[in-house]
Structure 1
């Protein structure tokens, strides 16, 4: 009897172990890690407590007064910066042979906007929104202007990111065309 119980326990543990390994192998084969990714509905209301930034270093206190549309735009900018940073890292690995990576003026300006100016502007916006507690007309106009200026800055950053990514794509497409041209000319 104890042999049957012992065998049952061993078979149960082995089945559980192999099932778990198989489950992880299946997920690894399709490129996901169990327990790491969580589904977030794209249209659900954003909460500052649940937003995490991949590349941007922003003070959550400065984001409290932003409308949801601007929070979504910041999250979109963060995603674009993540893609851009991945490209930059892949380029730096390729040019690691005693070469200093070239930084264009556009890249430098974008980096300055993301690292310095955006956090400064968000801080100024936050302080302005919380300075005027009164409901007078002058403070409302200042808040409206602050929102407009912040929106202009976010649009500018996003546009610069789009332009840089389009340039990168165009450069890679041009490289492929040149390689294809070379291959066609040597197909004799």
Structure 2
């Protein structure tokens, strides 16, 4: 079942952010665009490359009004230890959510049955808490922050311009489409 168009479910968890442990709830994510970036586990292989890529582009996400929440089933303590020992993870300024009780992973239907690990999934949530985009990849396929930025720009554009859609490979400033009977069969 697709989660697109559904509202995120309630959660409360401990997180690590910029040298501090904090509590984060679903209510904290409202009023701004949010990315929930699930990954299998701390201290692994593909995960740090993805999180470093997000960290390298975090300022751009912030300028777009987007907050990043990385999520694994590790604890906030593990996130801190990883942040303190890995040069790649040490770059992170966004919030790293602990999900050891699997509430958030289950809420997003991303928990691997019988393994206690989250799949590699990305969810873009609008300021009203509605999921606008989701992507799930296999264990060995890393994600790309630049492509995620492009998709968020498209989602933000269509949210601000009802009745328009962004075609394939759309980039900010390019022509959009206004679906109508006149376009059927002419594209």
TM-score bracket for this pair, using the shorter chain length: under 0.3
Name the TM-score, length of structure 1 as normaliser.
0.24
Higher share in strand: 2
Which structure has more helix as a fraction of its residues? 1
**Structure with greater Cα Rg:** 1
